Amino acid sequence: MSQTESRGGSTSPEADESDPPAPITVMLSSRLMVLANLLKRGAILRYKRLTGLSSVEFGLVASLGRRPPMSVARLAEAVGQDKGQISRALANLLSRKLIAKSANPKDSREVLVSLTAAGLAAHDAIVEGAQERNQRLLAHLSEAEFEMLFQHVDRLTAIAAEMLEIEKNTR
């Protein structure tokens, strides 16, 4: 391994091309996480540029979509985040007039959230951007490769879900 000099004059180890990669970096799960993180970071930058929304906010707008109003609890479950974080993001969306809140007619204690016309416009920009990103990502695959990739991803997703359940139940 070689050493490089930092600005402070001290040396730090630098990876030599002949060094073998760390074992975890060659695992499929690690490679998929790198891919997912790159895609997420690109999406966050794109949707911030297109809509001015933070990652949590664009997740909420995308989840609300063109659906009937949703409760805050259901929305938190849909995006996989806690209600506190969701509530702060919803307050920002409400102040920007991207969402509307109303009482549930079946249970007045429950608040329902829906997109306003401006929120629907942001949603449509997100969907259009996602479609463009998806097309660019998959443009170099043949139809057969595309089908095979999705079959493999679906199978691996099912296995990963099983593994998660096992971990949840193992104490």
Domain ranges in the chain?
Answer: 24-139, 141-171
Q: Output the CA–CA distances (angstroms, integers) from residue 30 to 15, 27, 62, 85, 155, in the order listed.
A: 19, 5, 27, 27, 17
Regions of the chain with pLDDT less than 50: 1-6
Please report the pLDDT score of residue 120 as a whole number: 95
Q: Burial code of 113-150, b = ≥16 C-beta within 10 A, e = fewer?
A: bbbeeebbebbebbeebeeeeeeeeeeeeeeeeeeeee
* Chain segment 87-103, per-residue pLDDT in tens: 899 999 999 999 999 99
Counting residues of the chain whose pLDDT is more than 90, the rounded percentage is 57
Counting residues of the chain whose pLDDT is more than 70, the rounded percentage is 91
Please report the pLDDT score of residue 24 as a whole number: 81
Please report the pLDDT score of residue 162 as a whole number: 96
Please report the pLDDT score of residue 23 as a whole number: 81
Q: Which tokens belong to 34?
A: 């790198």
Which residues lie below 8 Å from residue 48, measured CB to CB, with a gap of 6+?
Answer: 54, 58
Burial of 65 (0-12, 13-18, 19+ CB in 10 A): middle
3 state SS of 110? strand
User: Helix 28-51 crosses helix 117-138 at what angle (to 10 degrees)?
Assistant: 140
pTM listed for this prediction: 0.71
Please report the pLDDT score of residue 81 as a whole number: 85
The alpha carbons of the chain give a radius of gyration, in whole angstroms, of 22
Please report the pLDDT score of residue 12 as a whole number: 52
CB 87 within 8 A of CB 142: no
What top-level class would CATH report for the domain 24-139?
mainly alpha
